[in-house]
Chain A
Amino acid sequence: MTVLVARGICKSFGRRRVLAGLDLEVAAGEMVAVAGENGTGKTTLLRILAGDLRPDAGSVAIRGRPGYCPQTAILDEALTVDQNVRYFQAAYGIGRTGRAEALIEQLGYAGCRDQRAGTLSGGTRQKLSLTLALMHDPPVLLLDEPYQGFDWQTYLAFWEMAGELRDRGTATVVISHLVFEQERFDRICHLRDGRIEQEAISHAPAA
C-alpha cells in the first residue's frame, strides 16, 4: 500500500530552481533514502513533504500525520525534555507518553528528562528531536539526517529502531549522504537537477 505520494513537485528560490517536477512514491514498510550533493534540494523536498514549505507546483498526499525530524533539532530551549514531550503529546492528541518514554530509554538519555533542552548536548538534542517525531507511532517518518551528533552506540540503536519500525509497516524517508549506510535502505533516490534521476535498489536490506 502506498502511503506517500508526491507528484510534479516544483520549487524555486528566486531564480534558482531547486525541484523541477519531482515525483516520489513510498509504500508502507519501505525505507527510502534521498541522496544528493549539497544544494540539490534534499532538505527542501523533505520540508515540502512535511508541509513545512509550500511547493510552487505539485501535490503531496500522506497517510496520517507524518513524524518529521528536521535537520536541526527544533526544540523549546527553555523547557525540559519532559515539557517538550508534553507539548507534542498535546499536538498529537495522544493520551499517554508511554511510547516517548520507551524511546527515551532506548536512545539512552533518560537521565536528562528534567534538563532544559537548551543545556543538552548536540547529540542528546537530536535524540529528543527524534523522539518527538516518533512518539505518536506515525505511519510515515520523514527524517533529515537524523543521526547527526549520535555516538556509535546511539547510531546503532537508531538503526535497530528503524528496523523495528519497518517491520511494523512504517514508511521512512531519510535524507542521507549515504557514506556507510546504503545497504540499510530498500531504495535510494538520487536527487539531481531537481528530479529523482536514479533509483538504486540496495543489495540486502538490513536492520
Chain B
Amino acid sequence: MRQQLDTAIRLSLAGQVRNRFAWILLVAFVPVWYLLIGSMIAHHGIGFSLQATGATLVVDGHNLTLITAGLSSITLITGFVVFAAVRRTRAFDRRLVLAGYRPAALIAAKTGGALVQAVAIGAYATIIMLFFWRPAGVWAVAVTFMLAAATYAALGLLIGVLVRGDLEGFFLIIMVSLLDTFLENPVDNPLANKPILEFFPSYGSTQFAAAGAFHHQVLAGMAAVSLGWTAVFAVLGLIVLRLRMPRPASVTAPAVTGPEEGAASS
C-alpha cells in the first residue's frame, strides 16, 4: 500500500505538472484578470455586510473586487485542473485497479494532489494580487484563496466523476464559479448582502477575506463554512469515484478447478 501510495502521489503530480494549458491559465489569466477587473472598478466606498457579526463595513470597492476577481480566477483554474486530471486518468485508473492497484491509494493520491494544487494556486494568486493591492490582512486573503481553491478542487473532482462529456463539465465549472464569486461582491451585485448568498460555496471564504483584509478580524466560523463545502464536494466525489472503480477478483481465492494452485473468482 505504501509503495502504491508513494508512486501514485509522485506520478499523479508529475502528470499534473505537464498540464500546459493550466500553466498558461495561471501565468496569463490570473494577472490579466486582476488588471482587467481592477481597471474597471473605481476606488469608491461600498457597504459590505459581515453576516457573521451583523456589521456592515464600508470598504474600497476596487479592492473588494480584486478579492472576488482573485476568487473567480482561482476557482475556475483549480476546478478546471482537477476536473481535467480526473477525466484524463479515469480509464487509466480503472486499468490500474484491475492490475491490483488499491483504490484507496489512488484516491488518497488524488486528494493529496488536489490539496497541494489548491494551496499552490491560492498562494500564487495572492502573490500576484500584491502587484495590484497590498491589503493589511494579506494572510487572510491567502487563506481565503487556498480555501476557495480547495472547494473548487473538490467540485472539479465531483463534476469530473459525474458528467458524461468534457464540455458539460467545463460549462458547469465556469457557470458555478462565475455566479458564485461575482454574486458575493456588492459592486457587481446590488443584492450581494442578502442572506440567500450564505448558501453559496464562496460565501464563507469571501466573508473571511473581507473581515481579515479590511477589518483585521478572524472569522474562523467562515473558514469552517468554506471547509464544509470542500468536505461535502470531496466526500461525494470520492464516493462516486470509488463506486465507479472496478472490483477485481482477489488473487487469493481458492481454485475453482485444477488441483494444484489457487484461483481468483469474481
Q: How far is the CB of B18 from chain A (nearest CB, A)?
A: 5
* Binary contact track A121-140/B, C-beta < 8 Å → 1, others 0: 00000000000100010000
Evaluate whether A65 and B100 lie within 8 angstroms (CB atoms) in the complex, with A76-B11, A87-B7 already known.
yes
Whether B190 is near chain A, meaning CB under 8 Å from some CB there, is: no
Which single member of A50, A60, A87, A92 contacts B265 (CB below 8 Å)?
A60
Query: B98's contact among A25, A68, A116, by CB below 8 Å, is which?
Result: A68
Chain B 244-266 interface mask (CB, 8 Å, partner A; 1/0): 00111101010111111111111
B14 within 8 A of A: yes
Q: How far is the CA of A194 from the CA of B41 in the complex (A)?
A: 67
- B216-249 CB contact bits vs A (8 Å, 1 = yes)? 0000000000000000000000000000001111
Q: Which of B4, B89, B95, B261 contacts A68 (CB 8 A)?
A: B95
Decide if B100 touches A60 in the complex (CB within 8 Å).
no
CB distance from B16 to the nearest CB of A (A): 8
Q: Which residues of B contact A28 (CB under 8 A)?
A: 258
**Distance in angstroms between the alpha carbons of A61 and B256 in the assembled complex:** 6
A88 CB–B CB distance under 8 Å: yes
Interface set, chain B 1-59, CB cutoff 8 A to A? 3-4, 7-8, 11, 14-16, 18-19
- Say which size band chain B's interface belongs to: 35 or more
Report the minimal beta-carbon distance from A11 to chain B, rounded to whole angstroms: 13
A79 to B74, CA, bound (A): 25
Does B248 contact A51, Cβ atoms closer than 8 Å?
yes
Contacts of B92 in A (CB 8 A): 74-76
CB-defined contacts of A132 to chain B, threshold 8 Å: 95, 99
Please choose the segment from A1-9, A160-168, A173-181, A183-191 that sits at the chain B interface, where 4 or more of its residues have CB less than 8 A away: A1-9
- Identify which of B92, B95, B256, B258 gathers the most chain A CB atoms within 10 Å of its CB: B95
User: In the complex, how many angstroms separate the beta carbon of A14 from the nearest chain B beta carbon?
Assistant: 16
Are the C-beta atoms of B264 and A63 separated by less than 8 Å?
Answer: yes
- State in angstroms the CA–CA spacing of A88 and B100 once bound together: 9
Other-chain contact of B257, A2, A70, A90 (Cβ < 8 Å): A2
What residues of A have a CB within 8 angstroms of the CB of B264 in the complex? 61-65
Is the Cβ of A65 less than 8 Å from the Cβ of B260? no
In the bound complex, do residue B11 and residue A86 qualify as a contact, i.e. CB atoms below 8 Å apart? yes
Q: With a 10 A CB-CB cut-off, give which of B256, B260, B261 has the most chain A CB atoms.
A: B256
A50-B3 contact given A60-B249, A62-B263, A63-B264, CB 8 Å threshold: no
A51 to B114, CA, bound (A): 29
- Taking a contact as CB atoms under 8 Å apart, the answer to whether A3 and B99 are in contact is no
Flag if B100 contacts A93 (CB, 8 Å). Answer: yes
Given contacts A65-B100, A68-B95, contact A5 B256 (CB under 8 A): yes
- Please determine whether A51 and B246 come into contact, CB atoms closer than 8 angstroms: yes
A residues in contact (CB < 8 Å) with B: 1-3, 5, 25, 28, 50-53, 59-65, 68, 70, 74-79, 83, 86-93, 116, 132, 136
Across the A-B interface, the 9 shortest Cβ-Cβ residue pairs = A61-B256, A1-B258, A78-B15, A51-B248, A91-B99, A90-B7, A2-B257, A91-B101, A61-B265
In the assembled complex, 30 residue pairs joining A and B whose CB atoms fall closer than 8 Å, in A order, are A1-B260, A2-B258, A3-B263, A51-B246, A51-B248, A59-B265, A60-B266, A61-B253, A61-B257, A61-B263, A61-B264, A61-B266, A63-B263, A63-B264, A64-B251, A65-B99, A65-B248, A68-B98, A74-B92, A75-B92, A76-B11, A76-B88, A78-B19, A83-B11, A87-B7, A88-B99, A89-B7, A90-B4, A91-B100, A91-B101
State the B residues within 8 Å of A (CB).
3-4, 7-8, 11, 14-16, 18-19, 88-89, 91-92, 94-96, 98-101, 246-249, 251, 253, 255-266
